Amino acid sequence: MRENRIGLFYLGESIFVNGWRDLFARCVLAFFCIALWQKWSLFYAFFLLTLAWITDGGLQKFGKLIKEPLVLAILIFCGVLALGLLWGDYTDTGQNKWKKYFIFLTFIPFLSMLNKERLPWVMTASLIGYLSVLVAGIYHWLVLGEQGVPFFEISYLAFSAMLGIGIILMAFIGSTCQTKGRALLCWSMALFLLFIQFNQNARVLLLATVVALLLLIFLRYRAERRAFLGIFAAMMTAILLFAMSSSVFQERLELVASDLNSVLQGNYTTSLGYRLAIWDVGLHGIADHPLLGHGTGMPEIYFEKTIPTYKDGIYKNLPEFQRTSHYHNDWIEIGMQVGALGILALVFLLWSWFQTLKNHRLSMLGVVLMCYVFLAGLTDTFLLYNRTPIILLVVTAIMIRWQPITGTCNHLKV
């Protein structure tokens, strides 16, 4: 009898402890999905996520988790950047924007703790956070006439990127829904978000969204010719209507023509001219140290030291127009940091990201998301945006865990 009581005691204690750990993990995952929208709360969210992962037995699960291609690629990518500190000058690295790349590491504990039982908590928290920012962004745009979401300290670029992710996700779900009503609802939401994005100043992010959206339509409906032509025509009509009705979009197009004219006259103190100039300097810097780059954290310093003499100083006045903290291109930025080694690590990261989604029967989503990430990173350091990489990784983790439950078919053979 005594042994039975002791056994029951330990069993009850084990159930209580496991229940407490599970509740703590659920709360932390939900808090993380809401906290990522505010800068001041991100630090606490990262700390709690790591703590919850350890208490949830994450270290014991790590051997299995590293078999996910994306997990391994993130470790390699961050490892290469950390290695670049050996030939960089960490004590004099300006704004230290390169540290934001290490945000990718949060995917490891997040995915490890996320399971079928905790998924509703994460999805609910993510939806609440996204809708809160969306409503605030619409209010700032319609009522206050402001770009972005100043209330959440989100720039117009980050807000546009967030809209693009929402559009792609809604379109993907709509294209795979078996129920016509739900599919129509998802496509309507995607078009609504696209309309809002047309009224934000981010031109290339809008272009990346449109291209990714059209690619999604092609991949999903290419085998159904009539459906493809009808949906493609409807989408193009909506895009043209949004473009014609958006004064912001038309102003940005006029600004492109004005900027191009200024560049032709040798004036690089414009949005387009500035980008062309820093890309020129960045490519020159990569050519100087093609294999290992200039060291993690050094690109900003290289730019400041180079422009007074490079090409007889035609770019020397750029700091007065805008201080350079990055190279407005993911590939040039990484190439400047750690050269070809870093570029290969970035290629491996995107490829592994696709492979992870493909392994979970989400090939179409993988192709479209990687297309979006690649295009968005051509004119800006998309992977350095404060929240965008986290949102993409949260979406990836949710879709991976949601897929076995829904059995969604992505209609793409690879």
- What are the C-alpha distances in Å from 111 to residues 64, 67, 138, 356, 406? 12, 12, 31, 12, 18
Distance of CA 331 to the CA centre of its chain: 15
Q: How many CB atoms lie within 10 A of CB 65?
A: 14
- Are 308 and 318 in contact by the 8 Å Cβ rule? The answer is no
Helix orientation angle between 119-142 and 156-176, rounded to the nearest 10 degrees: 130
Q: What is the pLDDT of residue 104?
A: 94
Find out whether 314 and 352 touch, Cβ atoms under 8 Å.
Answer: no
Cα 390 to Cα 32, 110, 120, 141: the distances in Å are 10, 10, 19, 24
Beta strand ranges found along 332-411 (DSSP E) = none
Res 279: pLDDT: 92
- Phi, psi angles (nearest 5°) of residue 323: -70, 135
Helical segments of 177-298, H only: 180-198, 203-221, 225-245, 247-264, 271-288
Residue type at 134 in one-letter notation = L
- In angstroms, the first-to-last Cα distance of the chain is 61
C-alpha closest to that of 172 among 189, 192, 158: 189
286 burial type by CB count under 10 A (0-12 exposed, 13-18 middle, 19+ buried): buried
**Coil/strand/helix, residue 202:** coil
Burial of 79 by CB count in 10 Å (0-12 exposed, 13-18 middle, 19+ buried)? exposed
pLDDT of residue 11: 40
| Confidence (pLDDT) at 78 | 95
Nearest to 195 by CA among 167, 156, 165, 175: 167
pTM above 0.85, yes or no: yes
pLDDT in tens, the chain (414 residues): 555 554 444 444 444 456 788 899 999 999 999 988 887 777 788 889 999 999 988 888 888 888 999 999 999 999 999 999 888 766 555 557 788 899 999 999 999 999 999 999 999 999 999 999 999 999 999 998 888 898 888 888 899 999 999 999 999 999 988 888 888 999 999 999 999 999 998 888 999 999 999 999 999 998 888 888 999 999 999 999 999 988 888 888 888 878 788 877 777 888 888 888 899 999 999 999 999 999 888 888 888 888 888 888 888 888 777 777 788 899 999 999 999 999 999 999 999 999 999 999 999 999 999 999 999 999 888 998 878 889 999 999 999 988 765 555 444 444
